[in-house]
A and B are shown apart, each in its own frame.
Chain A
């Protein structure tokens, strides 16, 4: 199964998105991380690294980020991971909430990391208003 880490400038936003995505499959490991150590808005590479490590035993880990500097902080976190884990982690170019929802469903369906990533990235093109 593919685990998911949700990375936002706001821990509340990350936890809220996790709550929604978790509805898609209770068994999918989802970790939320965000905010600075002293409670401001922002993201920190070390906290993100620890969040990725907290996902546990999975086939791969999909990372979803909100905006701007969260991307760079996440890239740095990935570089700091042990090689073995780093190879199974991918940063996803998807809208964070829609991407998390799609990824959770895809993960619950037992798809591979690459399949889950592609499906989540497809969320960017989806019509919300039918």
Chain B
């Protein structure tokens, strides 16, 4: 199984749709421990991405993802902009010139994207950030791929791990962003960044499953 350009375009549209549907939810999560703009910011960023999609929708997959990254960087307005922007720019680098993606391409894209986010945000697992959802997802994808699983199964494993990682942020003390000012009071709240990470991966999976 490979992923072609049309599926990539469908994934981007699905990500935008899922974020739009969950705008209030993400904002509510962020209001508890952050500045309450994560849903609004992500929605604004992905709407910008959709606006910029048509002129590149027939280009190579690398160009399409680069465009996603630049759209998020230019329009999100909060820390999620440079973080997810870097994530998708890294996707674009790995996918540069490609018309379709193999399981190993996608594994490499996820790994590079995660690395980009970690460098940009200087975060590691356990600090109540998007890394808590993404790192287990990247590892689960790699483990499934190493075991010879099909792309769909690898991606399902990644999303399941992201979901577990997201839930595991609830008891954590935040160490990054505005939430870290709350210290112990951030305990008991699910991290909005980990939540949006899981939503984005799940949106991509939905296209693969259809």
Contact = CB atoms under 8 A, between A and B. Distances in A.
B76 interface: yes
Interface in A11-51: 36-38, 40-47
Contact of B85 (A40, A42, A47, A76): A76
B82 A76 contact: yes
Nearest to B40: A40
Contacts of B80: 69
Interface residues of B, number: 22
Nearest to B83: A72
Contacts of A47: 74
A40 B78 CA distance: 11
A75 B77 contact: no
B110 interface: no
B37 A68 contact: no
B120 A72 contact: yes
B197 interface: no
B82 A75 contact: yes
Contacts of B76: 42, 44
A73 interface: yes
B66 to A, nearest CB: 13
Contacts, number: 58
* Interface size class, chain A: 10 to 19
Contacts of B75: 36-37, 44
A68 B180 CA distance: 11
Contacts of A76: 73, 82, 85-86, 120
A117 B18 CA distance: 44
- Chain B interface main SS type: helix
A44 B81 contact: yes
B44, B74, B77, B80: residue with the most chain A Cβ atoms closer than 10 Å: B77
Nearest to A38: B44
B121 interface: yes
B123 to A, nearest CB: 11
A36 B120 contact: no
A28 to B, nearest CB: 28
A44 B79 contact: no
Nearest to A46: B74
Given A69-B79, A72-B79, A72-B83, A42 B37 contact: yes
A36 B73 CA distance: 11
Interface string A44-83: 1111000000000000000000001100110110000000
Going nearest first, the 9 A-B pairs with the smallest beta carbon separation are A42-B77, A69-B79, A36-B77, A76-B82, A46-B74, A69-B78, A72-B82, A45-B73, A72-B79
Interface of B: 35, 37, 40-41, 44, 73-83, 85-86, 120-121, 177-178
Interface of A: 36-38, 40-47, 68-69, 72-73, 75-76
27 contacts: A37-B74, A37-B75, A40-B40, A40-B44, A40-B77, A42-B41, A42-B76, A42-B78, A43-B77, A44-B73, A44-B76, A44-B81, A45-B81, A46-B73, A47-B74, A68-B35, A68-B177, A69-B77, A69-B78, A69-B80, A69-B81, A69-B82, A69-B177, A72-B83, A72-B120, A72-B121, A73-B82
